[in-house]
Chains A and B, each alone.
Chain A
Amino acid sequence: MANLWNLIILDPMLNGLIALSSLLPKAVEFGLAIIIFTVVVRLILTPLTLRQLKSTKAMQSMQPKIQELQKKYGKNKQKLQQETMKVYKEAGVNPIGCMWPMLIQFPIWIALYQSIMKALATTPENLLDLSRHLYSWQIVNQSLPLNSHFLWLDLGQPDHTLILAILVGGTTWVQQKMTTAPSVDPRQQSMSSMMLLMMPFMFGMFCLMFPSGLPLFWLVSTVIGIATQYFIGGGWGYLRPSSTKQSALGRGSKRAL
């Protein structure tokens, strides 16, 4: 199974990443390649991201109705399930619709993560392992080993300056805050608040442990996620609730017109 994964997903991505590096200025080759590659992969995945955003938004807009049903049929679980499904069906929303695009993207992110880690090849063992994944393309072999220095970072080593950790933690918080809807249920609300702090903290900590090439990929990916959310999801979302209300009002008045 691992061989098949390498053959059809990892190896093409890894060789593509290295080939791209060889086209860039040597001083910033791999750092810039990670950024460009992440942008390209996200662009390719845009239809799936849009579908996911659409489904998530539809689900969120139905939350008041669902909460009403929960109050009404809270004790009768079977009835609650039936009614909930009915509401979803009437609105033409598939409750697991927002999961599929996310699940399909997941292996791509794993492959990108593995490509970055393999291309960095920080130890002799990793460099030897890299040789097994390379095509015989001259452009790939001639550009090895890659220059792992980018700005202040050695992409093969963790960034101990805390800059990357703060940037990754901060952007993760912003992205999460934009999409986390406030809940009327106090238990759910406290859970969301905790997740809102825990995830950025966790990713920030990972930045101090993993080679900085990986946090650079997270950072670029999260920034693109925020931009997508902003331009397609309609502003800052739940990060600035007033702007959400205003944009909702704006849309409402436009519809009225």
Chain B
Amino acid sequence: MRIKILISLGIFCFLALSAGGCVGGQQKPLGFSGVISYDGILYLGSTDGKIVAVNPSARNQEMSFPSSDGEWSFAITMPSKGISCGPSSVPVSIYGTPTVVGESVCIGTYNGKVLMMNLSARSQNLDFPQVRSGEWVYPRTEDVIEPIVGSPVVADDTVYVSSSDGRVYALDRTYGDEKWKSDPLGDKLWITPVVEEETVYVSTFDGHIYALSAKDGSLLPWAFKAEAGFASSPMLYENTIFAGSFDRNLYAVKIGDNDMVMQNDMMMPKELLWKFPGGNWFWATPVAKDGVVYAGCLDGKVYAIDSKTGNELWEFDAGSPIVSSPALTDDLLVVACDSGEVYALDIFNGKLINGVSIDAPIRGSLCIQEGIVYIRAQDNCLYAMDVGKGKINWRFPLTIK
């Protein structure tokens, strides 16, 4: 009898456990666009599919949005899919940080479109696209390319963007015409490419770093193959590419290295400069300054690594996965983590200077302007923080109608 009761209790606990486990599954793509500052205005994507231009001083004065000082918002929608009783169009997801160039702001969306918006046309809320003002959308038809997760990069008169179809697209900056698209480079590309002179560098999910010709998208005779796929976008610093991999290492690979070997019809660097092991993936794109690479890791730590030797200089445990790229000032490194903590660290020794906490995960890249850190958190609010003083200056909900 006692055994039967024990077995029944065990089975009950097992079922209760499974009920707890039922919670969760596939998460909706909400997007985690970062913030960029240009000419005193902040540009970012919201979780409800809007590109928003925010004037920090107007927000500081708690003026109604949009104020006349360069503020606007533009909703990007797509037709709803499948059988649904909901609206015919739904907001798109935005992962990349907008790129501002001249009088335009460019963004790639998760539904596979690239948009170039004119700041003046958007602030006047004119129909999109105003072709005469240099606005365009790619592809122009109802067609889409595969989801875009990285940010667009503008170099000279070309916009470079990577897509989940594994291709890099080069588009005319003024008209949005396709200049070239690369051959599929393995699996999905969820990265922001690096453009250096005439070369476009991309890191791929199948573990390659490829160099493409910026003129025609052809593969250049240089590539690097890691033991696992690359999780982060590449970062170029002093002729070295730094990228985080799914094998929990941060790789440093020299470009333009003469010491090359032929492997699978490709010239590969004979040896990588170094690789640095972390406790989980290096998802966030690292940043570098004065010979030091600062890399946030999903193990919750930020590492300061000598860019030449790969030796660890210091580490700081943020206690929660670091998804967003850190940001640098002259003497501070600002790191945000998934639990909503933001830390200001001494750039030289990693000592904690101050910290601020918000009640939402932080995944988009940070922006620092005149000592104030701007963060778009997953609660769809934009925060302005004086991290050095450890306080939040203002909070602006992006759910604007």
B149 engages A2 (CB within 8 Å): no
Cβ-defined partner of A107 (8 Å) among B15, B24, B28? B15
How many Å lie between the Cα of A5 and that of B11 in the bound state? 14
B26 engages A2 (CB within 8 Å): no
CB distance from B300 to the nearest CB of A (A): 11
Q: How many A-B residue pairs have CB under 8 A?
A: 99
CB distance from B100 to the nearest CB of A (A): 23
A136 engages B248 (CB within 8 Å): yes
A124 engages B23 (CB within 8 Å): no
Query: A76 on the interface (CB 8 Å rule)?
Result: no
Residue numbers in A under 8 Å from B256 (CB-CB):
none
B21 engages A107 (CB within 8 Å): yes
Stretch at the interface among A35-43, A137-145, A188-196: A137-145
B29 engages A124 (CB within 8 Å): yes
A1 engages B16 (CB within 8 Å): yes
How many Å lie between the Cα of A208 and that of B298 in the bound state? 34
List CB contacts (< 8 Å) of B213-235 with chain A: 227-229
CB distance from B250 to the nearest CB of A (A): 14
A124 engages B95 (CB within 8 Å): yes
Q: Which residue of A lies closest to B147 (CB)?
A: A123
CB distance from A131 to the nearest CB of B (A): 5
Cβ-defined partner of B27 (8 Å) among A6, A8, A114, A125? A125
Question: Please, what's the 1-or-0 string for B143-181, where 1 marks a CB less than 8 Å from any CB in chain A?
Answer: 000000100000000000000000000000000000000
Stretch at the interface among A67-75, A98-106, A171-179, A226-234: A98-106
A5 engages B280 (CB within 8 Å): no
CB distance from A49 to the nearest CB of B (A): 16
A104 engages B16 (CB within 8 Å): no
Question: Please, what's the 1-or-0 string for A106-135, where 1 marks a CB less than 8 Å from any CB in chain B?
Answer: 110011001001001011111011011010
B187 engages A145 (CB within 8 Å): yes
Cβ-defined partner of A2 (8 Å) among B11, B20, B187, B321? B20
Contact A141 B16, CB 8 Å, known A110-B21, A128-B321: no
How many Å lie between the Cα of A142 and that of B248 in the bound state? 9
Query: A211 on the interface (CB 8 Å rule)?
Result: yes
Residue numbers in B under 8 Å from A147 (CB-CB):
187
Query: B374 on the interface (CB 8 Å rule)?
Result: no
Query: A209 on the interface (CB 8 Å rule)?
Result: yes
Contact size class for B? Answer: 35 or more
B22 engages A141 (CB within 8 Å): no
B205 engages A145 (CB within 8 Å): yes
Query: A9 on the interface (CB 8 Å rule)?
Result: yes
In this complex, how many residues of chain A approach chain B with their Cβ under 8 Å: the count is 39
Query: B86 on the interface (CB 8 Å rule)?
Result: no
A2 engages B205 (CB within 8 Å): no
CB distance from A162 to the nearest CB of B (A): 14
Question: Please, what's the 1-or-0 string for A200-240, where 1 marks a CB less than 8 Å from any CB in chain B?
Answer: 00000000110100000000000000000000000000000
CB distance from A63 to the nearest CB of B (A): 27
Residue numbers in B under 8 Å from A111 (CB-CB):
18, 21
Chain A interface helix/strand/loop/mixed: helix
Residue numbers in A under 8 Å from B19 (CB-CB):
1
Query: B30 on the interface (CB 8 Å rule)?
Result: yes
Query: A155 on the interface (CB 8 Å rule)?
Result: no
CB distance from B170 to the nearest CB of A (A): 24
Query: A44 on the interface (CB 8 Å rule)?
Result: no
How many Å lie between the Cα of A120 and that of B149 in the bound state? 17
Q: Which residue of A lies closest to B20 (CB)?
A: A1
Residue numbers in B under 8 Å from A165 (CB-CB):
none
Contact A123 B29, CB 8 Å, known A103-B15, A131-B321, A141-B248: yes
List CB contacts (< 8 Å) of B225-252 with chain A: 227-229, 246-248
Query: A53 on the interface (CB 8 Å rule)?
Result: no
How many Å lie between the Cα of A209 and that of B82 in the bound state? 8
Query: A4 on the interface (CB 8 Å rule)?
Result: yes
CB distance from A17 to the nearest CB of B (A): 16
B82 engages A144 (CB within 8 Å): no
A107 engages B323 (CB within 8 Å): no
How many Å lie between the Cα of A211 and that of B205 in the bound state? 20
How many Å lie between the Cα of A4 and that of B280 in the bound state? 21
Q: Which residue of A lies closest to B32 (CB)?
A: A124
28 contacts between A and B (CB under 8 A): A1-B17, A2-B21, A2-B23, A5-B21, A8-B17, A9-B17, A9-B18, A104-B11, A107-B21, A110-B21, A110-B22, A114-B21, A114-B24, A114-B25, A122-B26, A123-B27, A124-B29, A124-B32, A128-B298, A129-B27, A131-B281, A134-B280, A141-B248, A141-B281, A142-B246, A142-B247, A143-B228, A145-B205
Measured CB to CB, the residues of A under 8 A from B are 1-2, 4-6, 8-10, 100, 103-104, 106-107, 110-111, 114, 117, 120, 122-126, 128-129, 131-132, 134, 136, 138, 141-145, 147, 208-209, 211
Measured CB to CB, the residues of B under 8 A from A are 11, 14-30, 32, 82, 95, 149, 187-188, 190, 205, 227-229, 246-248, 279-281, 283, 298, 321, 323, 363
